[in-house]
Amino acid sequence: MTVKVKSEHVYQEPVEIVAATHLTKFPNEYDPNILSCNVIEKRRDRDGRTYTKRVAAVRNVLPTILRRVESLQVDNFEVEEECLWDRRFRKFSVRCRNLSVTDWVTLNEASLFEPHKQNPNWTHFEQEGTITVHGLGSLGSLIEIFGKRFLSVGAQRAISITEKLMAEKSKRIISFWYSEFLFA
């Protein structure tokens, strides 16, 4: 069985700000479950699109009762994220998948950030995620139920963190601008 989750949100910031925030947001103080996030590859093609591949170490948040399978009894999982930023069309897409425990669990997320149709200075965000558990019987069903909640809560937490980080960055810019203006 595969569990699917879909999330949507409108950021009241341009795609460029949201994409830049996404690419620099981990690790941060708001999500202690993301332990590290390292850029593995970054390149720009002839059309100006930027491709970035990152690998994150994510704390294993599975409850102990769901860690009966030996390969699930780890402290951390690795997740790969591939981002494509097309400045010309102002579209930022993100694909994530798990690199750990792929013999038992498959996690996939696909996100798209693009200008909002009614206000191009805002960003429409849409994400679809799936979790499939292979060959674990009733334990697999419990992991899928947990996974569905994890994806839903995780998407909302990521949205909230992005909003907080953008607000902090905006506050720093305004504070700097005022200090330069007042003391010029």
Two structure tokens written together for 86: 């097309």
CA 74/CA 165 separation, integer angstroms: 30
CA angle 115, 151, 17 (to 5 degrees): 25
**Within 10 A of 60 (CB to CB), how many other CB atoms are there?**
15
Tell me: pLDDT of 136 over 90.
Answer: no
Specify the DSSP element, H or E, that contains 15.
helix 15-24
Is the N-terminal amide bond of 120 cis, ω within 30° of 0?
Answer: no
Fold of 2-182: Alpha-D-Glucose-1,6-Bisphosphate; Chain A, domain 4 (3.30.530)
Q: How confident is the model at residue 150 (pLDDT cuts 50, 70, 90)?
A: confident
| Per-residue pLDDT at 174 | 54
Give the residue with greater pLDDT, 89 vs 172: 89
Winning range, highest mean pLDDT, from 35-39, 70-74, 140-144, 148-152: 35-39
Task: Write down the mean pLDDT value for the chain.
Answer: 88
Tell me: pLDDT of 180 over 70.
Answer: no
Whether this prediction's pTM lies above 0.95 is answered by no
Q: Which amino acid is at 103?
A: D
Q: Model confidence over 20-78: pLDDT tens digits?
A: 999 999 999 999 999 999 999 999 999 999 999 999 999 988 777 767 777 778 899 99
In the chain, the N- to C-terminal Cα span, in Å, equals: 63
Tell me: pLDDT of 182 over 70.
Answer: no
